[in-house]
Amino acid sequence: MAGIVALRRRIGDAARKGPASTGDAGSGTGPAGLSVRPGQETGAGLATLVRDAGLAGLVRPASAQHADETGTAGDRVLPVLPELRHLLPAGGLRRGSTVAVTPGTTSVLLALLAAASGSGSWCAVVGLPTLGPAAAAELGIALDRLALVPHPGPEWPSVVAALLDGVDIVVAAPPGPVVAGVSSRLAARARQRGSVLVPYARWGGADVVLDSSGGSWHGLGQGRGRLLRREMTISARGRGAAARPRGITVWLPDRTGALAPVDPGALGSAPEHTGPSVLEAVS
């Protein structure tokens, strides 16, 4: 009881102080008023802070509480964008699962989080210092529910494990190869807590693995112009219900910076876009 009272006090203090920027690596506010100060964003410092704050075993996402109250199977699945539903056996991100994204483009990673974030889920990204909040927002991620830990240090597994205790979706980008013991322990933690682990790495034992290929940009004219959109194929493979390979072809980004299905019959026939673009070619 004392731990819960202390945690409620921290939540109240955070509410009175107002929201903090999640894009600032030096300071910020995470789930349940968790403040990440300089020096605590790395390794054991963050893991200790999370546990000392009472997050471990105490904080549960509201969506998980809702699942307990309703008891419906659908509440065990976090939503994804309509174009991605075909790739996942449950039509979304099943709580307790591990869905790996092969490194290559963070656009696929961000698109995977977008619908869940937009519907109220908390997301955390560990170990991706180059991830830009602007790109995340463009794909529909709610920045006020996005926690960034850009430099977790060598204790990154402890950071990820601590975040799995109180965050709906945790992205883990390890600094190098991951031994089987670490990957299995983190996957087990996600199953126990009802979170979704999303490794941005080659990850043994994942329930689903998403790969991307292609990446053909469209929009350039004769040596000059604007890169308007990128055509990409996303494929899925996995275990159990995900054993049958699946694939889709999408624009990522499309002309608006979002994800959209590709209509093969419309390729090359759409009018050129004259507004701002994601990238601009220089002749």
pLDDT of residue 7: 35
Measured CA to CA, the distance from residue 236 to residue 89 in angstroms comes to 10
Which domains are assigned to the chain?
2-206 (3.40.50.300), 209-264 (no CATH)
Rounded alpha-carbon distances, angstroms, from residue 198 to 19, 209, 256: 26, 10, 26
Classify the phi-psi angles of 113: left when phi > 0, otherwise alpha if psi is within -120 to 50, otherwise beta.
alpha
Instruction: Compute mean pLDDT per 10 residues along the chain, 283 residues long, and list them.
Output: 39 38 40 42 52 48 47 72 91 97 89 95 95 87 94 95 96 95 97 97 94 67 57 83 76 60 56 36 27
196-199 and 260-261 as β-strands: parallel, antiparallel, unpaired? Answer: unpaired
208-220 and 99-101 as β-strands: parallel, antiparallel, unpaired? Answer: parallel
Taking the CA atoms of residue 150, residue 96, residue 189 and residue 128 in that order, the dihedral angle to the nearest 10 degrees is -10
| Backbone φ and ψ of 152, nearest 5° | -75, -20
pLDDT of residue 246: 83
Nearest to 167 by CA among 214, 113, 129, 111: 113
Rounded alpha-carbon distances, angstroms, from residue 39 to 25, 43, 53, 147, 167: 10, 9, 16, 16, 21
pLDDT of residue 187: 98
Nearest to 187 by CA among 173, 215, 207, 158: 207
pLDDT of residue 130: 92
pLDDT of residue 245: 77
pLDDT of residue 68: 53
